[in-house]
């Protein structure tokens, strides 16, 4: 389990969750809001792994803070964080863990409480390089699955990635005078038209996974309205800044 210094663990709830652990448990996901009761999944099937990867019926908290990892899973499969990633490393790490796991526990109980705004929402120049690298490794990961349902997840991650750049790189970068709206829209155009993003931005069926502000960005990008996308992102961010997670 990973704990940020300023966040809070409810020890009583954690102990209650821990009582469900079996000797052969590989992963435990908490705060699975879609569940009415806890589930113990032994011999995880390929279909169940898809669901656990936020593809179907289960919507797990993908961050490492909500997950308990058991050492044997990590050591036997030589799993560790990709040190090239500064944002999204927990998501990619969890995907690898789910792929390797055989026995998983899901609980709707919550023992971890986030306290502070996430630094990912501040402007950082490395957010751009991070997202491009994250898109590369996740695209390779999902393409290796060779499954139509997994393809949908890959499409969604690509769309979420370009939306992330709008709200968490270009918009704050403009506010902090790192570049102009024109410069941002020009760079956004180049990224959006790359093969890692362009074929996914136009997929309207992805909108069901997004909030209104994110749908707006996807729709504008699908119409190649890059300058308007940046301006709309600036307005939305001023009206209602996004909360952590």
pLDDT digits (tens, 9 = 90+) for 144-195: 776 666 677 788 889 999 999 999 899 999 999 999 999 999 999 999 999 8
- Give the pTM: 0.69
Domain ranges of the chain: 8-113, 119-239
pLDDT digits (tens, 9 = 90+) for 99-130: 888 888 888 777 666 555 554 456 778 889 98
The pLDDT score that the predictor gives to residue 113 is 62
Q: Which long-range contacts (CB under 8 A, 24 or more apart) does 86-92 make?
A: 86/124, 86/126, 86/127, 86/130, 87/120, 87/127, 87/130, 87/131, 87/134, 88/130, 88/131, 88/134, 90/2, 90/62, 90/63, 90/64, 90/65, 91/62, 91/63, 92/134, 92/137, 92/138, 92/141
**From CA 37, how far away is CA 35, in angstroms rounded?**
5
Give the tokens for residue 157: 């991650």
3-state DSSP call for residue 206?
helix
**From CA 219, how far away is CA 211, in angstroms rounded?**
12
Q: How many CA atoms does the CB half-sphere of 66 hold within 13 Å? A: 20
CA nearest to 102, candidates 26, 199, 181: 26
- Pairing state of beta strands 103-106 and 27-29? parallel
């Amino acid at each position: 389990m990973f704990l940020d210094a300023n966040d809070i663990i409810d020890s009583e709830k954690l102990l209650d969750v821990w009582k469900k652990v079996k000797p052969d448990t590989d992963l435990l996901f908490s705060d699975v809001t879609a569940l009415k009761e806890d589930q113990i999944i032994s011999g995880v099937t390929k279909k169940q792994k898809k669901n656990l990867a936020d593809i179907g019926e289960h919507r797990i908290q993908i961050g490492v803070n909500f997950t308990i990892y058991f050492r044997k899973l990590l050591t036997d499969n030589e799993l560790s964080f990709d040190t090239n990633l500064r944002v999204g490393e927990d998501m990619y790490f969890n995907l690898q863990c789910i792929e390797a796991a055989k026995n998983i526990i899901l609980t709707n109980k919550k023992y971890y409480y986030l306290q502070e705004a996430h630094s990912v929402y501040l402007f950082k120049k490395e957010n751009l390089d991070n997202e491009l690298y994250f898109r590369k490794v996740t695209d390779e990961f999902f393409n290796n699955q060779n499954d139509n349902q997994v393809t949908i997840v890959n499409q969604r991650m690509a769309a979420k990635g370009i939306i992330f750049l709008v709200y968490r790189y270009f918009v704050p970068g403009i506010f902090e005078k790192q570049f102009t709206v024109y410069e941002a829209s020009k760079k956004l155009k180049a990224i959006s038209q790359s093969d890692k993003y362009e074929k996914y931005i136009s997929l309207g069926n992805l909108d069901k996974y997004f909030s209104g502000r994110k749908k707006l960005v996807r729709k504008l990008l699908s119409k190649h309205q890059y300058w308007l996308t940046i301006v709309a992102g600036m307005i939305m961010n001023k009206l209602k800044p996004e909360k952590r997670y």
